[in-house]
Structure 1
């Protein structure tokens, strides 16, 4: 008999958990396999932890890890991967935007032996603001062109993986994590399961436009050197342009003997070049910041409470 591990990151999901647990429990109880539900409380400020304690007391299949503060969804997923003991491991959100009803079909696909992972993707973006949808599509197009990460448009974190793939993900213990990219980078054969977009069952999304933008920038920097290469090529190009303009100015002075006119245009050029320099320094600064954080070797998360006997963590 196989064991299925379900990892559920939670941040202020007090309103959603009373809806999520009965639905997930009903689906999992109908499976012929053993299972465990691992809830990771990511420093919630509401009654999420109290609800998880109550669920764990009533259901022996429920386990929880509570962080000492908010470490982010990436850390929560990693904590789940490290502590999951199942032969198949899934990640899903507590807001029911990742339908538990898809689990039996996902398990069936993995049981066929042809695939190592079943990942979900939304067929549409109904309910999303048009601007946000446009930026999301462009992000997927850009990151697939400039990196080794294979990220499908509309991909969700909701996926079911075999143990070998989960172990490979755990071995990638980098502090700056972008799981969508990691899932693609480790390889393994993935089946993409489309489904229609589902609205949150309760509560509000924790992701606003600026958080998503930062997430996208982190993903690009974590999996691509193209921004650094672009900075280098911009510097090379502007140096060449400056050298050519210097020759033009000297020749004009020697041939015509008149001073160079156009102080306004000169200031514009100086500001433009200065902006490119600052942009390049900013890009390099982002990479240096990532290296700096990795060099600290800080833990991905700190567990303040859990009903798992020996909570594992990898520094």
Structure 2
């Protein structure tokens, strides 16, 4: 059965020219077999390498790929939101460009949406997932601590094992009108805590090998995450005591 909806998959990029051709080829092959109309939006933060040129060349021969370039802006969440704002799709998604998010998992994510989920996320920690096999134990520890810090923020009815995943699908109606932070890397956590959700499904997956580029994690990302947590805890406290919420950033 074919879904009577359209899926827009955003792939944020910064200096990803090396891995994009093979990555987009895999994504297109997977998505072409899915029961849903789709487009792929590569949102580039004005990479100084050839990222934009590589994507533009692919888009010339493949109309389902579009390039959006942001100039003078940085931030994963902002790039994702920019892509979602430039599509009319009712199903919105995001995945990394470095090949660590296997495109084949999209099949299960779309199946979950077809079954009625509001959010379908690829989880590194769900049953059968492979988070325990991460090669970098320090990164594993940092992620586990970050998830623990966010756990009380999640609604108890759909508390998930990996609220910091960067690989997920969400229905537009669940996030329409919500003013999300443009900075930072953890948009899913905001969606889980502030979106209008009724059901969330986790799909286990195993990290692939990085196809190029380097990790964007660093001190600035950690600081942005701390600021996000502070804001979300503040909003939760105000909701508990009945105080009016401050205007969104």
Residue 29 (structure 1) shift: 1.6
CA 1:5–1:81 in structure 2 vs 1: closer, same or farther (change >3 Å)? Answer: same
Q: CA deviation at 1:151?
A: 6.1
Q: Does the 8 A contact of 2:102 with 2:207 survive in 1?
A: no
Is this contact kept in 1: 2:75–2:183, CA < 8 A?
Answer: no
Q: Does 1:159 align with 2:171?
A: no
What is the root-mean-square deviation in Å for CA atoms of aligned residues?
2.6
Aligned to 1:206: 216
What TM-score, normalized to structure 2?
Answer: 0.80
- Deviation at residue 80 of structure 1 after TM alignment: 1.3
Partner of 1:43: 46
Q: Which residue among 58, 61, 66 is the counterpart of 2:61?
A: 58
Following TM superposition, by how much is the alpha carbon of 1:27 offset from its aligned partner in structure 2, in angstroms? 0.9
Task: Show CA shifts across 1:231-277 (max 9, x none).
Answer: xxxxxxxxxxxxxxxxxxxxxxxxxxxxxxxxxxxxxxxxxxxxxxx
Change (3 A) 1:221 1:106: same
- 1:187, CA displacement in angstroms? 4.2
Partner in structure 2 of residue 224 of structure 1: 233
Give me the TM-score of the superposition, normalised by structure 1: 0.65
11, 16, 29: which one pairs with 1:26?
Answer: 29
Instruction: Report Cα offsets for 1:13-67 as digits up to 9, x if no partner.
Output: 0111011111011111222322111110112111001112111211111111101
- Rounded Cα–Cα distance in structure 1 between residues aligned with 2:223 and 2:6: 36
Select the structure of larger CA radius of gyration. Answer: 1
Please list the CA deviations of residues 43-94 of structure 1 after superposition, one character each: whole Å capped at 9, or x if unmatched: 2111001112111211111111101134211110110121122232211111
Aligned 8 A contact 2:164 2:189 in 1: no
SS in 2 for 1:106: helix
**Among 118, 133, 149, which residue is 1:126 paired with?**
133
Who is 1:266 aligned against? none
Larger mean Cα displacement after TM superposition, 176-185 or 192-201:
176-185
Please list every run of 5 or more consecutive structure 1 residues that lacks an aligned counterpart in the other structure: 229-290, 295-315
- State the shift of 1:132 in Å: 2.6
1:194 equivalenced with 2:194 (yes/no): no
Q: 1:135 to 1:104 in 2, by over 3 A?
A: closer
- Answering whether residue 181 of structure 2 is matched by residue 183 of structure 1, we say no
- The residue that corresponds to 1:116 in the other structure is 118
**Structure 2: 5+ residue runs without aligned partners?**
238-245
Q: Relative to structure 2, which stretch is displaced further, 211-220 or 10-19?
A: 211-220
Aligned residue-pair number: 226
Alignment of 1:143 with 2:153, yes or no, is no
Which structure shows the higher helix fraction?
1
